[in-house]
Amino acid sequence: MSPDTNSAILRLQGVSKQYRDGPTALHSVDLDIRRGEIFALLGPNGAGKTTLISIVCGIVTASAGTILVDGHDAQADYKAARRRIGLVPQELATDAFETVLATVSFSRRLFGRAADPAYVERLLRDLSLWEKRSAKIKDLSGGMKRRVLIAKALAHEPELLFLDEPSAGVDVALRRDMWTLVRSLRDRGVTIILTTHYIEEAEEMADRVGVIARGRLLLVEDKAALMRKLGKRELDLTLVEPLGQVPVELAEWSPTLEHDGHVLRYVFNATDEHTGIPGFLRRVGDLGLHFKDLETAKSSLEDIFVDLVERER
Amino acid sequence: MNLHGIWAIYRFEMARFGRTIWTSLAVPVITTSLYFIVFGSAIGSQMREVSGVPYGAFIVPGLMLLAIFSESILNASLGIYMPKFTGTIYEILSAPLSPIETVLGYVGAATTKSLLIGLIIFATAHLFVDLPVAHPVLMLLYLLLVAAAFCLFGFAIGILANGFEQLQVVPLLIVTPLTFLGGAFYSVQILPEPWRTVTLFNPVVYLINGFRWTFFGQSDVGVGISLGVSFAFLCACLAFVTIIFRTGWRLKA
């Protein structure tokens, strides 16, 4: 089957997972990943991110659903599907007594590729591992081990790379290097799916973001659109005298009354150039509304999760 | 066929063997020498011949299989248990390898190690006794058959084990007793009844006697039955490992 550049490189249809004697980890997930994009799967711990990745990679068996990797069924045609996938796991699972070069060369062959010392050298240089090629993995730092896992995942030149919680236990320098590497991979045409519970990571790298919680994929959106949602902020004015209703003079800001009229809340978009705060406060002053406290709050990713999960119920 | 993948696993496993080459080789040599001193010299000096074969030579096939059984199970079970224990199994499970390819890599390497150890014991035995081999080619094939079967068995144990102590249970509690009671150091013929008949229910009797036949051209039991039992054991292990991979039992959630 020839790859169609317009089609999804990964297509999940109705993928579910029910662990034996355990909770349902995934509820009928449908998801299309576009060729060449960086997709961030965001969710709190235990949301089902790793389960989803593990199913696509063949480490966990799905209870239901179909998975197509570049048009190849991940069950019936698993060899063709898996050859296209590289996985950097969350845990630092390595063969302690192997050298860096040996373990990366091993991964390449394991995935059915003939040895290519030039490619492996370039890969190790890109990841600043070349100097350490003869070192045993047990002698490397945690950050270096993570680089080794990335090199192993890229050793067979996959088209689709999974990064499961890439910044778990990683220092700032490595995180930055990793982001640079991810972008350069994308420029070479590699599609990247990363899981994270850090909104900053998704913000920094992703083209699109999927939010998953309690095994359900709650939304999939372009990053820009999600950031607008995340960019919602609230301004709370605690009034000296409670109000019975919002004065019509404030209608253009559409504020709401909270706490039995004691709090006047204005929700605005922090990413807009003009937040409307100065005008709003001026009008409040003109109306002679006195307030004793002023507070602003940002809607966090957590709030979004809670919102989305509540809405699901 | 993912030949590169099979070769990668095979080489990885052989490298693991290579890192411990001296202990891997010294242990069977020393153990065999001890058996020769205790059984061959001390007891053998009283026994002279069993079924027309000098006692020192008579115990060699049994000694070789005793080591092959335990080394095969140990090597093959550790080979697959270690990745499970350290978590590196993720890479094997996500690789484009069929179950048979995975087994060929792991069990192939473990079988190679077992064969090497068997041959080292064979060579060591020559230091102590005259050791004629009636059917050298069949001897090697038989050794291969038994090593492959026990490596498959060990591989299955490695997949099923939930802890290091569980790796030891089957070899220590089942295989070693059955081997000692299976005529490794004596001929079944010299046992009084009912023990002679009881012993014939021990499958290891057939494995050892079949192997002994390739050396001396004689056996307590029919060679055909011995071969049959060996093949049956190999097929049973193969079927068991196939079921494990088909269902993902103890391998995949």
Instruction: Give residue-wise pLDDT tens across range A45-71.
Output: 888 899 999 999 999 989 999 999 999
Q: Which of B5, B11, B252 sits opposite A112 (nearest CB)?
A: B5
Torsion over CA: A50, A56, A61, A67 (sign):
positive
Contact partners, residue B236, CB within 8 Å, separation at least 6:
none
**Above 70 in pLDDT, residue B41?**
yes
pLDDT of residue A92: 87
Distance between CA atoms of B53 and A24, rounded to whole angstroms? 66
**Above 50 in pLDDT, residue B23?**
yes
Indicate the helix (H) or strand (E) that contains A298.
Answer: strand A291-298
Q: Are A243 and A288 in contact (CB under 8 A)?
A: no
The average pLDDT across A132-157 equals 92
Indicate the helix (H) or strand (E) that contains A294.
Answer: strand A291-298
Three-class secondary structure of residue A272 per DSSP: coil
The average pLDDT across A148-176 equals 88
**Above 60 in pLDDT, residue A3?**
no
The average pLDDT across A88-107 equals 92
Identify the weakest region by mean pLDDT among A135-139, B152-156, B219-223.
B219-223
Per-domain residue ranges for chain A?
Answer: 8-228, 232-299
Q: Which of B10, B144, B18 is nearest to B79 (CA)?
A: B10
**Above 90 in pLDDT, residue A225?**
no
Band the pLDDT of B118: cuts 50, 70, 90: very high
Q: Are strands A216-222 and A232-239 parallel, antiparallel or unpaired?
A: unpaired
pLDDT of residue A56: 95
Q: Which residues of B touch A83 (CB under 8 A)?
A: 96
Indicate the helix (H) or strand (E) that contains A286.
Answer: helix A277-286
The average pLDDT across B79-105 equals 92
Beta strands in A35-144 (DSSP E): 38-42, 64-69, 72-73, 85-88
- The interface predicted TM-score (ipTM) is 0.86
Six token digits for residue A106? 């091993």
pLDDT of residue A105: 96
Band the pLDDT of A299: cuts 50, 70, 90: low
Residue carrying the six token digits 């039955």: B225
Residue of B16, B21, B88 to mutate when probing chain A, most A C-beta within 10 A: B88
Give A251's DSSP letter.
G
pLDDT of residue A311: 66
Residue carrying the six token digits 């550049």: A5
Report CB contact under 8 Å: A110, B97.
yes
User: For residue B140, with 0-12 CB atoms within 10 Å meaning exposed, 13-18 middle and 19 or more buried, which class applies?
Assistant: middle
Q: Comparing A8-228 with A232-299, is the CATH topology the same?
A: no
Report CB contact under 8 Å: B96, A102.
no
Report CB contact under 8 Å: B4, A102.
no
Residue of B2, B4, B7, B94 to mutate when probing chain A, most A C-beta within 10 A: B94
CATH of domain A232-299: 3.30.70
Identify the weakest region by mean pLDDT among A28-32, A167-171, A203-207.
A167-171
Contact partners, residue B163, CB within 8 Å, separation at least 6:
none
Distance between CA atoms of A104 and A86, rounded to whole angstroms? 12
Q: Which of A80, A82, A91 sits opposite B94 (nearest CB)?
A: A82
The average pLDDT across A299-303 equals 60
Report the residue count for chain A: 313
Q: Which of A302, A50, A307, A293 is nearest to A168 (CA)?
A: A50
Q: Which residues of A touch B5 (CB under 8 A)?
A: 109-112
> From residue B115, how far is each of B70, B73, B210 by CA, in Å?
12, 13, 17
Q: Which residues of A touch B87 (CB under 8 A)?
A: 89, 91, 93
> Which CATH architecture does the domain made up of A8-228 adopt?
3-Layer(aba) Sandwich (3.40)
Q: Are B113 and B24 in contact (CB under 8 A)?
A: yes
Report CB contact under 8 Å: B5, A110.
yes
Q: Which of B12, B87, B253 sits opposite A93 (nearest CB)?
A: B87
Q: Which residues of A touch B88 (CB under 8 A)?
A: 93-95
Q: Which range among A302-311, B29-38, B146-155 has the greatest average pLDDT?
A: B146-155
**Above 50 in pLDDT, residue A207?**
yes
User: What's the longest Cα–Cα distance across chain B?
Assistant: 59
Q: Which range among A144-153, B120-129, B238-247 has the greatest average pLDDT?
A: A144-153
Six token digits for residue A179? 């982001």
Report the residue count for chain B: 253
Per-residue DSSP letters for A6-57?
TSEEEEEEEEEEE-TTS-EEEEEEEEEEETT-EEEEE--TTSSHHHHHHHHH
The average pLDDT across B191-197 equals 82
**Angle, alpha carbons A223-A229-A232 (nearest 5°):** 135
pLDDT of residue B8: 95
Closest chain A residue to B9, measured at CA? A110
Nearest CA-CA distance, residue B77 and chain A, Å: 17
How far apart, in Å, do the first and last CA atoms of chain B sit?
A: 26
Identify the weakest region by mean pLDDT among A194-203, B133-142, B148-157, B176-185.
A194-203
Band the pLDDT of A2: cuts 50, 70, 90: very low
pLDDT of residue A1: 41
> From residue A120, how far is each of A86, A101, A258 by CA, in Å?
15, 8, 61
Report CB contact under 8 Å: A59, B7.
no
Distance between CA atoms of A106 and B52, rounded to whole angstroms? 52
pLDDT of residue A268: 81
pLDDT of residue A118: 95
Contact partners, residue A41, CB within 8 Å, separation at least 6:
A49, A52, A53, A193, A194, A195, A196, A209, A210, A212
Band the pLDDT of A271: cuts 50, 70, 90: low
Band the pLDDT of A5: cuts 50, 70, 90: very low
Per-domain residue ranges for chain B?
Answer: 3-247
Q: B20-29: string of b/e by CB count within 10 Å (b at 16+)? A: eeeebeeebb
pLDDT of residue A172: 80
Distance between CA atoms of B206 and A93, rounded to whole angstroms? 43
Six token digits for residue A253? 């800001």
Distance between CA atoms of A80 and A32, rounded to whole angstroms? 19
Judged by phi (left if over 0) then psi (alpha if -120 to 50, else beta), residue A128 lies in left
Contact partners, residue A232, CB within 8 Å, separation at least 6:
A267, A268, A269, A270, A298, A299
pLDDT of residue B124: 86
Judged by phi (left if over 0) then psi (alpha if -120 to 50, else beta), residue A65 lies in left
Q: Which range among A110-114, A167-171, A205-209, B15-19 has the greatest average pLDDT?
A: A110-114
Q: Which residues of B touch A104 (CB under 8 A)?
A: none
Using a CB–CB cutoff of 8 Å, tell me whether A73 touches chain B: no
Distance between CA atoms of B89 and B102, rounded to whole angstroms? 11
